């Protein structure tokens, strides 16, 4: 993925990256030009899955994708992101526990930051009784996960996934 794609790049962390990847691919199809699972937001260069699972690198399991803004808006991607995981649980999704499973939007542009912050406020007022703990932070280096993690649930259809759609966009 080229660096000049930042205006059409999204990077989200919301629990196990296997489920995030699967659901984004299924929901948006060709509107998502490319997607990778990996590690974002940490301090260790070139982390491995084992490094990240120790919980001390600061990375979140995340997905990054280039999307086609003619087919899907960033707001719709945000809506879907917030609808397939629980953004009110800190550092946990389902049975997965640790900072690597935190809810986080990594923004690539000032416009994405503003849109994510505004939409988070709207969701807090309209859909959640508990505080949304999703972090909204500037994207830094994204490290692709090992090959066996890419398209994991397609390769392993009975693999663990705790993501499901909680609502649909109005």
Helix/strand/coil percent split, the chain, to 5: 35, 25, 40
Angle at 94 between CA 52 and CA 113, to 5 degrees: 65
Let me know: does 138 contact 11? Beta carbons within 8 Å: no
Give the catalytic positions in this structure: 16
Instruction: Evaluate whether 68 touches 9 at the Cβ level (below 8 Å).
Output: no
Beta strands in the chain (DSSP E): 9-14, 32-40, 60-67, 92-93, 96-97, 103-107, 135-138, 142-144
d(CA 118, CA 127): 14
């Amino acid at each position: 993925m080229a660096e000049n794609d930042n205006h059409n790049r999204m990077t989200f962390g919301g629990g196990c990256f296997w489920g995030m990847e699967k659901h984004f691919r299924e929901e948006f199809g060709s509107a998502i030009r490319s997607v990778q699972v990996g590690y974002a937001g940490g301090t260790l260069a070139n982390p491995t899955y084992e490094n990240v699972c120790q919980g001390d690198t600061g990375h979140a399991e995340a997905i990054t994708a280039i999307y086609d803004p003619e087919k899907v808006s960033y707001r719709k991607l945000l809506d879907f992101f917030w609808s397939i995981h629980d953004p009110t649980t800190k550092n946990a999704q389902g049975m997965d526990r640790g900072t690597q499973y935190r809810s986080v939007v990594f923004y690539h542009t000032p416009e994405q930051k503003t849109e994510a912050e505004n939409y988070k406020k709207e969701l807090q007022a309209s859909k959640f009784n508990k505080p949304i703990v999703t972090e909204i932070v500037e994207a830094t280096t994204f490290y692709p996960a090992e090959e066996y993690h890419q398209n994991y649930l397609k390769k392993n259809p009975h693999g663990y996934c705790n993501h499901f759609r909680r609502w649909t966009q109005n």
